[in-house]
Amino acid sequence: MTSTSGAASSSKICFNSDCKDLKSERPRKGWRLRTGELAELCDRCASVYEEGRFCDTFHLNASGWRSCESCGKRVHCGCIVSAHAFTLLDAGGIECLACARKNVVLGSNSSWPSSLLFNTSLPERLKDYPAKNWSQLAGSGPVPWRQAPSLFNSSIPQPELHSSVPYEVDLSTSIDRLNATERLSTPSLEKKRIEDFGERLMNGSSLKLGTRDIHENGNAGINCDEQPSSCSTKSQQPSLKEESSKPPFGLVVPYTSPDEVNGQLGLSGTHSRPNPQPPLAKQFHNNQHNGHDSSSEPQTRNGKPRPDGRGRNQLFPRYWPRFTDQDLLQISGDSNSVITPLFEKMLSASDAGRIGRLVLPKKCAEAYFPPISQPEGLPLKVQDSKGKEWIFQFRFWPNNNSRMYVLEGVTPCIQNMQLQAGDVVTFSRLEPGGKLVMGFRKASTASASEQDNEAKSNNGVSVHVDTELADPASWSKVDKSGYIAKEAIGTKLAVSRKRKSSTLGSKSKRLRIDNEDLIELKITWEEAQGLLRPPLNHIPSVVVIEGFEFEEYEDAPILGKPTIRATDSSGEKIQWVQCEDCSKWRRLPSNALLPSKWTCSSNSWDPERSFCSAAQELTAEQLEDLLPHCNSVASKKMKATKQEPENVDALEGLDTLANLAILGEGEGLPASSQATTKHPRHRPGCSCIVCIQPPSGKGPKHKQTCTCNVCQTVKRRFRTLMLRREKKQSQKEAETTRKKQQSPMRDKLMDDDSLPCSNAGNSSPNPIKVVSEGGSDDDPNRVKSSTSPFKGQIDLNIQPEREEELSPGSDSGSMMKLLQDATERYLRQQRLNFGGNSSSVVTQTQPVGGTGDKIGNSVNLGASHQDPDRDHPAVFPIKASAHTSATG
């Protein structure tokens, strides 16, 4: 309208374009503009407005006037000023607010959309959010939606969903259209939406477009069209004068286009809420859709409570649709489509997983999907903008006296859209046709370019879900997954894609961080692991979290360069540190805290050895003794380094070793508990030893010198395993000897077991280390205790506690042997390498065990942290056969 189209409130002239008067210094407020601001009027116009005569006075000749179906009163439905003054009737036509109140049990505040009115919480929230445009919204909004036919009649498919769509976005005009129709019926939902929307606006979520447009236009681009007829109105809304600077709901109208600057009437939007607010559930009223609203609300059209007021309908903010105009455009496909955003949901790991079940937010499901009374639910036909049709089974499971709604058979669709956990699927309804559209948004973590590309290619691909139930006939043809692909038959599902950001469950979502951050965090964590050292005089306990060992310190740990702690001959505690440049080991006081990068030049404690040219104090033998610990400690603390996907056929060996190690270390845990409980399955974002590896042995192979997470962990674990063994061995020796007499067989095993480990027995010059490494079984803090001497043998398949139950002939024998071999080679190699030079000579040994395993089964366990060149590689042949058993 003329009056509204004008200038911003900043003008000195009355906002009413039909009035040339100047505003007073303190202009009076009129209706809320789409920008969220309030029109500033001259005193005269303001008075007229406040008296509710604004349209009668200034818009008499304008279009958009309609008569109340009940009292015949004329209402200017096409004006923002009167937007709140009427209600759209389901059957068409409008009803003035007064009549609407009579017919519908509304909340106290008539100026609010019915939904709002019903919703007690809304008002409160609104307080916080300045009236967001309620006036505008209200204009269309308050209207009780009594008549809108429910989209989903209880059991009858209703193709005509559009009539009930609350917010419609008329893409053809780029205007948001709000359907006024649904208000009354789903008050609660609407309220929520409104609230939500308001919040979103507050939060600056996606309705930018609308906002922007609104600002530009200054007018509400609200479409008041009620179905079939559009009654855009401007109504005066004196009541809402809040000064929210936030974009009004009207803003929401994301789709408003500049073209429509003045076309408020043309705009839709009874509810001006832009898409965000999901359509009111009004549709569902009749549906008996249970649930959808809150019990507290008077649900029912006409004020009757809903049959089932099962849930409260407050859609959580996370389900608010945040469509962008682009999304909408893409979804609509054809310019004549009108989209009504319903809700959205970030895919959880489960949703995106193979199970093919997409958990639907209860309220959303109840509000926007057909009501279902049987757990089996109903099939819903889905169609994307490209014409692909899908059928999902919409059903529920009883859950805690409630229901858990799911869409089954979504896997094909998810894959087709290349979605993964963290991505967002959006549901909206497309008119005409009443189809629910399932679009998507990739996780925000995607790079801009990536997103752009996706946007061009597949982003926004939407799937339209026919509100009508899928034809059972066709359903029967559908495969189990419910995938139909009429047009997409033959379409290859682009499965793929790197699932970088693994899916995050709801819980995770809360903790969700962008990939970049994640990476940073990970690095930090890794570094910290490598640098963390127990405070002096403290013995760390070891806890295992998701497969990783962490040292726990009672006091704050010390950060610094990893060193080898030891006790010299005089009993003094010292630590050995390796120079970054020359790789020589230097002796330092135990309390020395070193930077992550340390060189001889920093050796202020021993000036004579502050040069790389200075001889190393330690002899090879001494180092040999220290090394195992060193490796253990270092690797343990440096569990991870950047993963370098290098293609070498060592992965399987690593896998095997890793698994063996895991088994070995996990001895103290109830079998299975670890993997099963924590990671029953491979999880793409998890960094545990299981998940950091490609599933099923797929993925890049690792070189023996690889220092990736997996390799590091494997090496570390293996070393730890060996260490424990050594320790236990000495402890058990006595006992073994004793048993020997009783069990010759065992003795034999023991003998075989005793590895030529030079470190055995006397290693661990450092008590602390010993504890942390092998852990004392007595240590109560040790969550995962492990050592299981196991008769001299390490049976990775057995729990230490039950070692006694083992028999020499147990199945574990072969694996043990493998381990033994590996250990031997490891130690031997280590000695050799160490004694010779520190350069990393990776010698790959052929697998032992005779089963002709792949060459790749050897693993270099000698790599030390940080610098591969200083590694002390050793190759551990592993039987392929062990792989399976170990992984199991």
Residues found near DNA in the complex (CB under 7 A): 310-312, 316, 319, 345, 348-351, 354-357, 359, 361-364, 375, 397-402, 404-405, 408, 421, 480, 503-508, 510, 676-677, 679-681
CB of 819 to DNA, least distance (A): 22
Whose tokens are 């006075």? That residue is 57
Considering the complex, state which of residue 356 and residue 868 has its C-beta at the smaller distance from DNA: 356
Asked if 380 contacts 434 with a C-beta cutoff of 8 angstroms, the reply is: no
State the minimum distance, in angstroms, from the CB of residue 195 to DNA: 14
**What is the nearest approach in angstroms of DNA to the Cβ of residue 385?**
25
Q: How far is the CB of 690 from DNA (least distance, A)?
A: 12
Considering beta carbons, is residue 4 or 445 the nearer one to DNA?
Answer: 445
CB of 414 to DNA, least distance (A): 13
Give min distance, CB of 542 to DNA, in A: 22
294 Cβ contact partners less than 8 Å away, ≥ 6 residues apart: 119, 188, 309, 311, 312, 313, 314
Which residues, 6+ apart, have CB-to-CB distance to 148 below 8 Å?
88, 90, 163, 164, 179, 181, 182, 183, 184, 185, 227, 282, 283
- Rounded CA separation 685/503 (Å): 7
Scored b (16 or more CB within 10 A) or e, 830-845 reads bbebbeeebebbbebb
CB of 9 to DNA, least distance (A): 37
Per DSSP, helices labelled H in 223-337 are: 249-252, 282-287, 325-332
CB 546 within 8 A of CB 527: no
Continuous segment of H or E residues that includes residue 863: none
Three-state DSSP class for 730? helix
- 449 exposed, middle or buried (CB, 10 Å; 0-12, 13-18, 19+)? exposed
Whose Cβ is closer to DNA: residue 246's or residue 357's? Answer: 357
Q: Which residues contact 508 (CB under 8 A, 6 or more apart)?
A: 348, 349
Residue 397 CB, shortest distance to DNA, in Å, is 4
User: Which two tokens mark 724?
Assistant: 């424990």
As given in the structure block, the two tokens for residue 472 are 């059972």
Smaller CB distance to DNA: residue 351 or 580?
A: 351
Helix H or strand E segment including 525: helix 515-531
Q: Is the peptide bond before 607 cis (omega within 30 degrees of 0)?
A: no
Nearer to DNA, 375 or 744 (CB): 375
**Which C-beta is closer to DNA: that of 589 or that of 680?**
680
Which of 34, 3, 1, 7 shows the shortest CA–CA distance to 255? 34
Q: How far is the CB of 379 from DNA (least distance, A)?
A: 13
Complex with DNA: residue 354 or 497, whichever CB lies closer: 354
Q: Using the minimum distance from each CB to DNA, give the nearer residue, 289 or 565.
A: 289
CB of 420 to DNA, least distance (A): 12
- Choice between 313 and 860, CB closer to DNA: 313
Structure token pair of residue 315: 């859609």
DSSP 534: P
Q: Which is nearer to DNA, 445 or 754 (CB)?
A: 445
Beta-bridge partner residues of 74 = 67
CB of 589 to DNA, least distance (A): 42
| Closest among 194, 203, 179, 205 to 249, alpha carbons compared | 194
Based on CB atoms, which residue is closest to DNA, 326 or 672?
Answer: 672
Q: Which residue has the tokens 């759209």?
A: 88
Longest dimension (CA), the chain: 114
Min dist. Cβ of residue 427 to DNA (A): 13
Looking at beta carbons only, is 80 or 421 nearer to DNA? 421
Cα–Cα distance for residue pair 54/47, rounded to 1 Å? 9
